[in-house]
Structure 1
Amino acid sequence: MFDSGPAVQPGAPPLSASQLPAYCVVLDLETTGTSPTHNRIIEVGLCEIENGQVVEEWSSLVNPQVPISPFIAQYTGISNELVADAPLFDEIGEDLYNRLRGKVLIAHNARFDYGFLKNEFARLGFDYQEKTLCTLKLSRRLYPEHRRHGLDALIERHGLSSQARHRALGDVRMTWEFVCKALAEHQPETVAPVLAKILGRPSLPPNLPPEEIEALPSAPGVYLFFGENDTALYVGKSVDLRTRVLSHFSGDHRRHKDMRLSQQIHRLEFIETAGELGALLLEARLVKELSPVHNRRLRRTRELHILRLAPDPSQGTIEILSLTHVAPKDLAHIHGLFRSPREAQKALREIASEHNLCLKVMGLEKGRGACFAYQLKKCRGACLGEEPPALHRARLQMALSALKLRTWPFAGTVGFRERSATGRTAVHVFDQWCHLGTAQDETELADILECSSEPLGFDLDGYKILCRYLEKKHGKLDVVPLAGKTAAKLIAEDETAIRLETDGLCSC
């Protein structure tokens, strides 16, 4: 235990404080870092509130059983020596849980403290689930004219007592002082809906304006999270934007990545699509264009490489080429997609070993005489003329067949038409697995078709998305044949559609 300064004096609360829940606990934690799953609590401070009045204060240092970094020690004033003889959380956990149970947790940036409590209690076998009142959100709602709402900003703006800053009980006292002043400065009819909204939505990011969540539709599309200075943080997709976005914030106390993302979000955008395929394609494109910090998949990859049987066997049996040197019409004659020539060579060596092929004939080994695999009886002697070249080439071609890209199953350009439940319609235009664009109306479709004679760009993500989508739909696709046709009424006319049989197509 420690004394962090003069205690908050019990007494009559401001008039509006009576609008708070009857039983609350104002709490602050100091920790070894920002991850609730990896870092630990080093100090707890709280004051218990009943009917708007402070009835008890309590605080304790906690031995985290891990070293405290010099930065945290300087920031909080809590050193390894100071917590050496402090109790473990295991020793104070049950008492703390009983103090918090059944009471609304009030904290500044409550998500942070709630996440640490949730995880620490879980280690002790307690399931902690209480409502939270975040004073950061309270400040944003009651004082929207101000840009900054951190505790330091509140101290300066409202003249709060700033003794023992960055110590748990000191920050608790400042937080409660802010609550009292903020509620006293606003009429009860202003405060009531604000408290109801915050208490009803404990999991929303503290810096995200609530109206941006309220605007989300229950429709397919893509959503984008932005941080400070409009930095792109994350791009996602869903067939139900509202449900998916809210799911990001429902369990973020369990994962450091989710909590970190939530703390960074300042702005939300969404783009509705006509269906799932449109959302998948748009997500892949936006991730490549924006390179969001938290998107690991679908980012722009380095130049891809492929395998191709050499037209002239005398020049080498197999070629490793950059995909940029391959025309889309020749995609059916290539094998594999690799992120580097080295990865392609590794795949070839594995194929040669599995099928007793000759590394020399394949161009992967130099020198005279028999190849090394022949000495290990893993080559049938193509390097010595014991196996006819034509037979070796045929066996190689068979071995490579498993890596062959799918043949484009249409006679030219087609569109995949989607319609949402709200009537939104789009046609996704493809040729040779290349996505040429998405049209929302006849004009856009005409523009795409007019530009279809330009060189196509093969995109691995687009290829995989469409392959998986074809497999998933099992023939239930609205496919519009576009080769040699104009855009007139293709968006709306059902009779132009054909049904695609996808049975037998393997997944990517």
Structure 2
Amino acid sequence: MNAYTCANLVDGFAFVDIETTGGPAQHASITEIAVIEVDASGVREWSSLIRPAMRIPEHIERLTGIHNDMVASAPRFEDVADELFDRLEGRIFVAHNARFDHGHIKAAFRRIGVNIRPRVLCTVKLSRRLFPQERRHSLDHLIARHDLKVGSRHRALSDAQAIWQFWQHIHDTFPPRQIETHIRELIARPALPPYLDPTAVDALPEAPGVYLFYGENDIPLYIGKSTRLRSRVLSHFNADHQSDRELSLSQQVRRIDHIRTTGELGALLEEARLIKSLQPILNRQLRRNRDLCAWRLDKDLAGPAGISLVRPGEVDFHHPGQLYGFFRNRRAAVERLRALSAEHALCPPLLGLEKHTPGRCFNHQLRRCRGACMGLEPYADHHARVEAALAHLKIESWPYRGAIGIREGDALHVVENWCYYGAVSNEEDAGPLIARGKPAFDFDIYKLLVRWMERQLVVVLRPDGAAGD
């Protein structure tokens, strides 16, 4: 029996490393694979270049030394898949930052209809367990710290050999029982990102709230919400081989924070607020938008259907008038109005979409409008059709005289004119919150409030913030 195989765990280990084009796991981006098998029969090394489905970028060529000419005649992944499967089967899959290597290999097998589910051990996490006094655990740091001998860094076999040397080093340094205990715990846990402290996930409650992922230098990466925080966070890491974004997130995350809320509405509101405040780099929805605008219709039905763009700051939501939108920017607003004009045979010149030439209408000649700009359709009829076309975009007026509180559990969400001030525990605390100043209008919060105000208990607040009758 090999002294380094932990006989009580498995029949053996597979120390794995891959090189890629830098492309996502969902594409054939692997350029080289190496496996070192360690079991009772001894140690066996295997490696192969792999022909990817894309060219290797120059900066990756410089990093790995693997050039496009080298892989031009190399086998495809499917050509080596059977051999690789046999080398991994029944063994613990050991890699440094294992989520990356395992994610790419698992995705590659999935593309050819094979599902592999090895137990995975990350030597980044194992190093953190065994050397907690050290701050950094990259492979370069392990090589320097433990005087590991490496041939060509960033070549798959050399890096796999470095991992295998690290494995031998720790077995020469620590009692076998201690190492085996850590391995059992690590392979039994959900596959957490390598640089994330497991206690951060253990501290998450199964309760409503918002979670925040931070990367190097405490840069906000991603903000999400859930009614079950711990399960939702773990779901990000369980699906990394299916989503490039999840894989990228797992590679970058260094710290997790969370904010408890009393319910789903509080989580939704806090998520929208934090995303606009912190601007995390991986969030695409709910981002701050300074160019928000809406269409306002003129009430004068006797003349042309006057229509203009307005900003939220120009609107009194107690009496917003005929307001439709909102749109992320002027271009989006114009494109939407142009599409509605074509769909409903409206007159583009009257909508300000085209220049008006008195007595002539190109769209009417093509039977694309009814000729309102030429007096062939009454302005009132055209205006009514404009209203009907825009009806599904109508902005709701604020239905209360002042501020309200939306009750959710122990929290009172304070809102006025569709603007969210924040949450307090009672009506008396609402006044000081309102006195801090009105927040900016947020279209995402507006949509949330319109949907939720019908479901939740609403408390009308007096000007001093207390509850009214």
Same fold (TM over 0.5): yes
Aligned counterpart for 1:114 among listed residues 73, 83, 102: 102
Amino acid at match of 2:457: D
Q: How does 1:309-388 map to 2 (within 5 A)?
A: 309-311=297-299, 317-331=306-320, 333-364=322-353, 365-388=355-378
Aligned counterpart for 1:259 among listed residues 247, 256, 275: 247
Q: Which residue does 1:244 correspond to in 2? A: 232
SS at match of 1:125: coil
Unaligned regions of 5+ residues in structure 2, if any?
A: none
Query: CA distance change for structure 1 residues 397 and 95 in 2, over 3 Å: closer, same or farther?
Result: closer
Q: Which residue does 1:432 correspond to in 2? A: 417
Structure 1, 197-206 or 103-112: larger mean CA deviation = 197-206
- Contact in 1 for aligned 2:411/2:423 (Cα 8 Å): yes
Q: Which residue does 1:77 correspond to in 2? A: 65
Q: Does 1:186 align with 2:171?
A: no
- Contact in 2 for aligned 1:307/1:344 (Cα 8 Å): yes
Give 1:404 shift: 1.4
Q: Does 1:295 align with 2:278?
A: no
SS at match of 1:184: helix
Q: How does 1:139-218 map to 2 (within 5 A)?
A: 139-188=127-176, 190-201=178-189, 203-218=191-206
- Contact in 2 for aligned 1:160/1:174 (Cα 8 Å): yes
Q: How does 1:62-141 map to 2 (within 5 A)?
A: 62-64=50-52, 66-141=54-129
SS at match of 1:329: coil
Q: Which residue does 2:47 correspond to in 1? A: 59
Q: Which residue does 2:406 correspond to in 1? A: 416
Q: Does 1:36 align with 2:15?
A: no
Structure 1, 352-361 or 167-176: larger mean CA deviation = 352-361
- Contact in 1 for aligned 2:25/2:107 (Cα 8 Å): yes
- Contact in 1 for aligned 2:427/2:461 (Cα 8 Å): no
Aligned partners of 1:118, 1:12: CA distance in 2, in Å?
28
- Contact in 2 for aligned 1:417/1:426 (Cα 8 Å): yes
Give 1:381 shift: 4.3
Aligned partners of 2:428, 2:200: CA distance in 1, in Å?
31
Aligned partners of 1:199, 1:245: CA distance in 2, in Å?
19
- Contact in 2 for aligned 1:318/1:363 (Cα 8 Å): yes
Q: Does 1:400 align with 2:390?
A: yes
Amino acid at match of 2:459: V
Query: CA distance change for structure 1 residues 316 and 80 in 2, over 3 Å: closer, same or farther?
Result: closer
Aligned partners of 1:456, 1:151: CA distance in 2, in Å?
48
SS at match of 1:331: coil
Q: Which residue does 1:479 correspond to in 2? A: 458
Aligned partners of 2:457, 2:358: CA distance in 1, in Å?
58
TM-score (norm 2): 0.90
RMSD: 2.8
Query: CA distance change for structure 1 residues 56 and 405 in 2, over 3 Å: closer, same or farther?
Result: same
Give 1:455 shift: 5.0
Unaligned regions of 5+ residues in structure 1, if any?
A: 1-10, 420-424, 491-495, 497-508
Query: CA distance change for structure 1 residues 378 and 84 in 2, over 3 Å: closer, same or farther?
Result: closer
SS at match of 1:405: coil
- Contact in 2 for aligned 1:45/1:58 (Cα 8 Å): yes
Query: CA distance change for structure 1 residues 384 and 462 in 2, over 3 Å: closer, same or farther?
Result: same
- Contact in 2 for aligned 1:316/1:363 (Cα 8 Å): no
Q: What do residues 8-65 of structure 1 show as CA deviations (whole Å, max 9, x unaligned)?
A: xxx8526x955654421112122222522224333222222225x7432222233335
Q: What do residues 169-221 of structure 1 show as CA deviations (whole Å, max 9, x unaligned)?
A: 22222211111212332345543442222111251101111111111110000
- Contact in 1 for aligned 2:2/2:42 (Cα 8 Å): no
- Contact in 2 for aligned 1:303/1:323 (Cα 8 Å): no
Q: Alignment length, in residue pairs? A: 467
Q: What do residues 263-287 of structure 1 show as CA deviations (whole Å, max 9, x unaligned)?
A: 0001110111111000001111111
